[in-house]
Amino acid sequence: MLICSTCAVERDEPAPALCPICVDERQYVPEAGQYWTTLDELAKSGQHTTLMESEPGLVSIGTQPKVGIGQTAQLVVTPAGSLWWDPVGYVDDHAVGAILEHGPVLAIAASHPHMFGVQVEWSNRLGGVPVLVSEADREWLGRGGPNVTTWSGSRTIADGLVLHQTGGHFPGSAVAHWAAGADGRGVLLTGDSVFPNPDRRSVAFMRSYPNHLPLSGSVALRIAAQLGDLEFDRIYGNFNNKIPSGAKEVLISSAQRHAAWSRGDFDHLC
C-alpha cells in the first residue's frame, strides 16, 4: 500500500505515475512532482498522531507533522459506538488504542475523496470496521477490500448520528449530523462540503479550495436548503475549524450571500 504525499490517500500497488485525486482540477500535483510514501517511511521520519477533546463526545485526531492535506479527523462517540470521520493519512498504535478506549467503532466515513486518508488501513487496525464510501464517489477509491461498502442519500450510523449526502464539492460530498452534540443543540461535521471560514461568521461553498473554484449560487442554496431541515447549532470543518454557535443561521445567510455575489448583485463594489 502506498500513500500520496500530497493528499495522503492510500492506493494499492502498483500506483499510477500520478495520483488521480491530485491531477483533478480540485487538487494539484506539486511543482516538485509526484511522490509516494509508506506508513513505515512516515513512522521512521517521526510521524505521530495527536489527540484532543473538542467537546464531550467528540475527539479530534491529527498528525504531526502534517500528512498530506493535514485534516483533523473526528471520533464521534455515542452509547452504541463511534463514527471515525475523515480519517487521517497515517495510523499508529497510539491512536488506535485511544479510539478503542471509547468503545467499538461502528463505521469509518469521509466527507469526500480528499479525506479518504488511509481509511482501509484504519479499518484493518480497528478490527475490520465498515468503510462507508458514497456511491457517487466510488471511482476515486484507490484501495478496496471486503470492508468497503457504498451508500447514497442518507445512512444512519447510530441513534442520532446520520450521514447525509449533499453533493457540491464532489457529487458524493457528505456531512455527519450528530444530534447530541453542542449540549444537545446538534452538530454538523462537514469536512469542506461546507467550510467554516476564519471569521467564524460565514461558511464557503467551493468546488476547489486550493485552486479557488467556487460552486454556483444555485448549488450553495440547494445545500443550505437541504441541511436547513436538520437541527444543529455548531459546525466543524475538516481542520477543526468551526462555527461555534448559530451555525444554521450562518449556513443560510452564507448561501444567500454566495448566490448574490454569483448573480452580480454586488458588482458595484468591485
Categorize the per-residue pLDDT at 239 as very low, low, confident or very high, splitting at 50, 70 and 90.
Answer: very high
* DSSP states of 4-25: ETTT--EEPSSPPSS-HHHHST
151 with 145: CB under 8 angstroms? no
How many Cα atoms sit within 13 Å of 173 on the Cβ side? 26
Strand, coil or helix: 60: strand
Place of cell 475523515: 86
How many structural domains are present in the chain? 1
Question: How high is the pLDDT of residue 251?
Answer: 98
Return the CATH number at 157: 3.60.15.10
234-237 and 36-37 beta bridge pairing: unpaired
pTM over cut 0.85? yes
Categorize the per-residue pLDDT at 202 as very low, low, confident or very high, splitting at 50, 70 and 90.
Answer: very high
Longest Cα–Cα distance in the chain: 58
| CB within 8 Å of 220: residues ≥ 6 apart | 168, 205, 254, 255, 258, 259, 262
Place of cell 512532482: 33
Report the C-alpha gap between 36 and 19 in whole angstroms: 9
**Boundaries of domain holding 185:** 2-269
* pLDDT digit string, tens, across residues 37-49: 999 999 999 999 9
* pLDDT digit string, tens, across residues 180-195: 999 999 999 999 999 9
What average pLDDT score do residues 86-101 get? 97
In the chain the first and final C-alpha atoms are separated, in Å, by: 49
Report the C-alpha gap between 204 and 165 in whole angstroms: 17
* pLDDT digit string, tens, across residues 4-52: 999 999 999 999 999 999 999 999 999 999 999 999 999 999 999 999 9
